[in-house]
Structure 1
């Protein structure tokens, strides 16, 4: 059985690079997408074993809220865990992410230990 991968969705290549470095340090396999549209295309393919999505919220064109909603509308991905990863850390932002369908929330700058705990929780299912 193939190991579950993490799908990183972020329009900023610096954020993708930083998250990839964390995942590489723990030998966690990953894919990345630079937009919500690209993420949905990857998730609609049958050949990826994504176990959790790290979703940036503030992206152009299709933001993280819209992407999560579209992901939830895909029957095969309706239960896929999504962790919102965002710089939006104001009062109510966590709740807005959860209402949009995210399973969890982590604010930038990322606490690596917290991220790894959340990833382990979802990848061990």
Structure 2
């Protein structure tokens, strides 16, 4: 069974690159440019196995979105990988403290990302 990934990122270039990379490896996916819409997608698509959450977005950032997801019993179990350009150790810990299971820094190393997805899903 193919894993279904939700990519949440406000930059269409990042979404495009991730979709190409993941589709070539057999994943199916949904995308959202806004965290609020991503939460709605999660609530309505039980086939999503993993979320790739950009942490720096307008309106609602990834930290707030993850906290909301973790408080919702119907979707709180879905693994989330934080994706951010913030590469300091304290940034990694901040993502994990918010409720992400893993952290991948930008620019994304595809091998690291695939290992993280496979580990969590």
Instruction: Tell me which of 61, 64, 79 is aligned to 2:62.
Output: 64
Task: Give 1:90 shift.
Answer: 2.2
Q: Which residue of 1 aligns with 2:21?
A: 22
CA 1:3 to 1:25, structure 2 compared with 1: closer, same or farther past 3 Å? closer
Corresponding residue for residue 6 of structure 2: 7
Residues 3, 49 of structure 1: 8 Å contact kept:
no
Q: Normalization by structure 2: what TM-score?
A: 0.95
Q: SS where residue 39 of structure 2 aligns?
A: helix
CA distance in 2, matches of 1:96, 1:30: 26
Q: How does 1:1-125 map to 2 (within 5 A)?
A: 3-45=2-44, 47-123=45-121
Structure 2 unaligned regions, length at least 5: none
Cα drift, residue 88 of structure 1 = 1.0
Report the Cα distance in structure 1 between the residues aligned to 2:78 and 2:6, rounded to whole angstroms. 11
State the TM-score, normalized to the length of structure 1.
Answer: 0.92
Residues in 1 aligned to 2:74 and 2:119: alpha-carbon distance in whole angstroms: 20
Number of residue pairs aligned between Structure 1 and Structure 2: 121
Alpha-carbon displacement from aligned partner over 1:67-92 (angstroms, at most 9, x marks no partner): 00011111011121000000011240
CA distance in 1 between partners of 2:25 and 2:2 (Å): 13
Segments of 5+ residues of structure 1 without an aligned counterpart are none
